[in-house]
Amino acid sequence: MVKIYTRGGDDGTTGLWYGGRVEKSGARPEAYGSVDEAGAALGLCRAAAKEDPELHDDLLRLQGELFVAGAQLATAPEAAERLDEGVSRVTEAMVERLEEDIDRYMDRVDLPPKFVIPGGTDLSARLDLARTAMRRAERRVVALKLAGELEDETVLRFVNRASDFLFAAARYADEPEPELFEGRG
């Protein structure tokens, strides 16, 4: 039997990729943990997107790319040179691909001039929930940057585009018509 516990984190620290230990509550574990949470939320989205192979495949690809972002964020800056582009380091091409995906989905929707209330469809509600998890991950990556611990800002741009992609995908999944917040007059 393979044991998944090591007892190494019983003191409140966690190991980083390529060595080193940090507090579990530190900026780096907060960043990659939030990316992991967003990836898990994408699993709920993908499970509900089986009727739409294009969206399903885009979500699966994004889940895989979030592992790349997580690996980069889980690496101490002094070990950054050991990362491999597209495997454990986010690339500019990954950011550009998300921009293409965003444009492709937004070309298919009429974005209303008001706030969209999540829950127009089951899938769009899941996508909006994943989007908010991705935005939290983005805030955690920004905190890492502000702490001077982000050696490459491409990962920040990637996480930002990922949340934009999830907004676009949610609006696409809301079709034909999203529910809007009208406000009180």
Residues 74-106 have pLDDT tens digits of 999 899 999 999 999 999 999 999 999 999 999
pLDDT of res. 184: 56
Residues 108-154 have pLDDT tens digits of 998 877 788 888 899 999 999 999 999 999 999 999 999 999 989 99
pLDDT of res. 112: 73
Q: Give the angle subtended at the CA of 141 by the CAs of 135 and 142, to the nearest 5°.
A: 90
Of 42, 53, 26, 25, whose CA–CA distance to 165 is shortest?
42
111 vs 27 pLDDT, higher one? 27
Is residue 1 assigned to a domain?
no
pLDDT of res. 133: 98
Of 34, 31, 63, whose CA–CA distance to 47 is shortest?
63
pLDDT of res. 118: 87
pLDDT of res. 179: 57
Q: In angstroms, rounded to a whole number, what is the distance separating the alpha carbons of residues 100 and 106?
A: 10
> Looking at the predicted structure, is the pLDDT value of residue 185 above 60?
no
Is residue 180 assigned to a domain?
no
Is residue 13 assigned to a domain?
no
Stated pTM of the model: 0.91
What residue numbers bound the domain in which 131 lies?
24-174
156 vs 178 pLDDT, higher one? 156
Provide the CATH number for the domain around residue 102: 1.20.1200.10
Q: In angstroms, rounded to a whole number, what is the distance separating the alpha carbons of residues 21 and 104?
A: 42
The count of domains in the chain is 1
Residues 29-82 have pLDDT tens digits of 999 999 999 999 999 999 999 999 999 999 999 999 999 999 999 999 899 999
Query: Cα separations (Å) of 61 from 39, 57, 70, 80, 132?
Result: 11, 6, 14, 24, 19
Q: In angstroms, rounded to a whole number, what is the distance separating the alpha carbons of residues 142 and 137?
A: 9
Is residue 89 assigned to a domain?
yes
Is residue 179 assigned to a domain?
no
Is residue 6 assigned to a domain?
no
Q: In angstroms, rounded to a whole number, what is the distance separating the alpha carbons of residues 41 and 25?
A: 21
Is residue 65 assigned to a domain?
yes
Is residue 14 assigned to a domain?
no
Token reading at 131: 């989007």
